[in-house]
Amino acid sequence: MHSTLKIGTWEAVATIGCISLIPILLTLPTYAVTDFGTATFLHNVYTTILTLIMLVIILSLYKNFSHMDIVDIAKHVGGKPLQIICGIILISTILILCILTFSEFTQNLQNVLFPDAPQEYISILFGIGILISVFLGIRGIFRTSSIVVPMIAVGFIFMFFVLFNDTDITNFFPVFGNGISNFFSQGFNRIARYEGIFYIFLITPYVKNYKKVGYLSFILSTFFVLPIIFLLVGNIPYPSITENYFPIFELTRLINLGRFIQRVESIFILLWLLATFIYLSLSVYFAIYIFQKIFDLQYSQRLIPCFTTIIMSICTLLNSFEIIIKIRNFFFVHVSTYVLYILPIILLIVANIKRRIECKKLIIQNSSF
Amino acid sequence: MQKTNNSKFIFLIILLPLFLTGCYDRFELDNLAYVVAIGVDNGKNNNVNITYQIAVPLKITGENSETGQETYTVYTVSAPSLSVGNTIVNTLVSKEVNLSHVKLILYSEEIAKTEMSGHFNSFMSHTDIRPKVTLAVCEGKAENFLNKVSSTLEVSPARYYELLFSSYNYTSQSVGSELIDFYTASQSKDREPFAIYVKLEENEQGTTEIKPQGIAAFSGSSMKGIIEPELVISHLLLTNDLKKSGYCVKDFNKDDRVISVNLDQMKAPQIKVSTDTDNPKIECNIELVAHLVSSGSNINFYEDDNKKRLEEELNKSLETRIGNYLDKTINEFETDIARIRKICKTQLFNLARF
């Protein structure tokens, strides 16, 4: 990214909201219901509160480093070696999440829309799209999401009002589902559901007001996450819901407004396709961005086809849907939260301590003169 | 120069998908056979007999449109599952069978009384079939049913089924039974599934039309019995599904006459279940609005006493019906199609206790 680049507040908010939407579109709600049963919605509210607390901590820690992204902060804390280590961890996480989302979404698309088309063909079409968008630059991705996200939001509002009447409140009971201890102990490691919040660490130097972007994107992400879980649990009772591996698609299949509006899932799929496309393009872009930064590369454009080809090749190798969703769930529960939230927070805390020590040293030096 | 090269490269990449696409596997509307109803009967050697009722578009549209049995054709195949049935029927029909317009899934009473779970699982896994398609149980064989059914007022069989099975929106003789609801209820511990029970009846014009005959009550995925049409109103009241309906009670002045009212359910029923003793006690509070339509004798309903008496008669009649319905479902069929159990679980903290 050029140092002169500026991202508008709405563009940043829309993009982060779009990224947070992706985990909810795929199998994560299914796994959440398997773990928490009827308490899934309440657990999501609990996770949302935890995420908000984390966000407040992150934004307050960022106070003195708003001109730096997380890779710069790693360099500030531990020099080049730490920057390279953190950079590689972040690139790996972003790419793994990207590959899993790519494979899962293309398999779902194949099952639902193109049962006769080979998966490689769908992957190639996606890959070409990603390649072009990353070549054209970050500004285009952010601008596209600022147009696409309002359309997705309208779709969600429509879905919410149509399906709300069919929501059965008794599906949310017993309130603690599979047990109180399970409910509370498994809250923290689910905050990666708000995956988009992590991207604040990468775009902070390029936005005008990072705090505004942070809170607004959290509100937008919550607007997507909570109503979907509410409709899902309220419309498809436990345990039937655990059998759906593309639950939101099943939900849109239930939309019926008399004899006039039926089979609207095709419109929704188009919107999700755009959202996934933005997510994948952004993941590839930031993976290359971090790679360029940690190895001090002057030109990054030639890396774009390499990264895209690697992603596409791994996706075509992952042809078992069962393995993909198992890896995804494992990664989501045991890795994502720690890399996307805990690692940056630790870096920020250390950076703040280091800064305080440096300030104290400066004060002592100044007073000795 | 660099910019021009990039533009050319992007243009070439955009053009690429156009050359990669093919039309060898395209779908043409004319090349598909649209199934409007599927019937399932018991077959031999663990197979099921699947009946496909396929619309004949030439008879439905245009100047030559007809009603009744001319508008569809029926194929019956014996197969172990729906997928195999589809494969077999595709060899019999000149066009490729398409299930995206199925409006009715019909089970014979005989097969409904056995374990049905394996069958409707295959319906659920077909993305072509809508989750809100009507699921019904019929008297006799589903194959005979789909061969004989005809409508007088409707040309398209799909529209006939769609309109007929949505009549629960304005009557108290029929219920809405959708595949998704049936499936989820059969999987749940807090509710039991039900389906509309239908039979064929020949009218004066000689056409054989569908007549709803109550509710087929299930426990798990096997049918336990039939709730009579006069008790269907109790089911609708308890499940908050009564939209509006005509109702009558005996005229309290003349025994051979009736007082007619229109009933509207304005609020969801308040159902309380106390589980303090071994026998749970169910308390239902149902709020209804009754609009007086006519009375057989000359009762002055401006008098408060008469109004009160009518209210008492209505309450007594509905209480008896609801009592009979609950007695039949809970004690006789040992099932919970009124879904009282899901109200019990709202009082608990976790599923283990439930």
**What is the pLDDT, as a whole number, of residue A1?**
59
What is the per-residue pLDDT across B135-155, written as a single tens digit (0 to 9) for each? 999 998 999 999 988 887 878
- The per-residue pLDDT of chain B, averaged, comes to 85
Contact yes or no for A159/A248 (Cβ under 8 A): no
User: Which of the given ranges, A84-93, A194-203, B300-309, has the highest pLDDT on average?
Assistant: A84-93
Residue B1 has pLDDT above 60, yes or no: no
Q: What is the mean pLDDT of residues B2-29?
A: 71
Q: What is the mean pLDDT of residues A268-275?
A: 89
Instruction: Look at residue A115 in the predicted model and tell me its pLDDT.
Output: 79
* pLDDT exceeds 70 at position A234: yes
Q: Is A173–B346 a contact, with Cβ atoms under 8 angstroms apart?
A: yes
CB-CB contact of B280 with B273 (8 Å): yes
CB pair distance less than 8 Å for A121 and B13: no
When pLDDT is cut at 50, 70 and 90, the band that residue A81 belongs to is very high
For residue B2, pLDDT beyond 60:
no
Q: Cβ A173–B353 below 8 Å, yes or no?
A: no
Domains of chain B: which residue ranges? 29-227, 234-347
> Residue B304 is inside which H or E element, if any?
helix B304-326
Cβ pair B38, B97 in contact under 8 A = no
**Between A287 and A266, whose confidence is greater?**
A287
Q: Please check whether residue B72 is in contact with residue B118, taking contact to mean a CB–CB distance below 8 angstroms.
A: no
Best CATH choice for the domain B234-347 from the list 3.30.300, 3.90.1010, 1.10.12, 3.40.50: 3.30.300
Smallest CA–CA distance, residue A206 to chain B, in Å, is: 25
Write the CA distances from B336 to B114, B119, B241, B340, integer angstroms: 18, 22, 16, 7
Contact yes or no for A132 and B13 at CB 8 A: yes
Contact across the interface for A116 and B25, Cβ inside 8 Å: yes
Q: Which residues in chain B have Cβ-Cβ distances shorter than 8 Å to A254? A: 131-132, 180
Q: What is the CATH number of domain A9-360?
A: 1.20.1740.10
Q: Of how many residues is chain B composed?
A: 354
pLDDT per residue as tens digits for the range A344-366: 999 999 999 998 898 888 888 87
> How far A224 CA lies from chain B's nearest CA (Å)?
24
Q: What H or E segment, with its residue span, contains residue A80? A: helix A70-112
Closest CA to A42 of A175, A138, A222, A180: A175
Segment A139-174, tens digit of pLDDT: 888 999 999 999 999 999 999 999 998 898 888 988
Q: Quick one: pLDDT at residue A33?
A: 87
| pLDDT at res. B217 | 93
Which positions in chain B touch A118 (Cβ < 8 Å)? none
**Nearest residue in B to A172, CA atom:** B346
pTM of the model: 0.88
| Residue A113: C-alpha distances to residues A105, A266, A277, B34, B320 (Å) | 11, 9, 17, 19, 52
User: Residue B342: which of A170, A178, A259 has the nearest Cβ?
Assistant: A170
Cβ–Cβ of B350/A180 closer than 8 Å? yes
Give the closest-approach CA distance of B350 to chain A in angstroms: 5
Chain A CB contacts of B351 below 8 Å: 37-38, 174, 177-178
Record: contact B132-A254, CB cut-off 8 A: yes
Residues 152-191 in B contacting A (C-alpha not used; CB under 8 Å):
162, 180, 183-184, 187-188, 190-191
Residues of A in contact with B17 (CB under 8 A): 125, 128
CB–CB contact B6 A135 (8 Å): yes
* CA distances for B213 relative to A63, B68, B333, B342, angstroms: 71, 21, 17, 27
